Amino acid sequence: MTEFTLEDIEFIKILASTESTTLQTETNIETKNKLDSKIGSILRQYYRENTMNEKTEWIDKFKKVGITEDMGKAAISCARRLGIEIS
């Protein structure tokens, strides 16, 4: 299972609180690759746990670092608008 770092936590919080159009204009290729490979993987597992009852433990991990369910949903929505496949 993927573990996440403080940088990952902050990135998810930024996604949850930022308009995707702002990120689209300011995001470079390196950032998009990181988003897809690391953060995208975390968000995909989190999404599957919420929708398919898979036991990935991301819901608990998010709660422990202050990422609420609404923030998680907002981060997923923003990632999708940036072109990251979540489901």
Place of tokens 């949850």: 16
Considering only CA atoms, give the Rg of the chain.
Answer: 12
Chain segment 34-80, per-residue pLDDT in tens: 778 888 999 999 999 999 988 889 999 999 999 999 999 999 998 88
DSSP 4-69: --HHHHHHHHHHHHS-HHHHHHH--HHHHHHIIIIIHHHHHHHHHHHHH-----HHHHHHHTT--H
Cα–Cα distance, 75 to 80 (Å, whole number): 9
Token pair in block for residue 11: 């990135």
pLDDT category, 14, cuts 50, 70, 90? confident
User: How is residue 82 annotated by DSSP?
Assistant: T
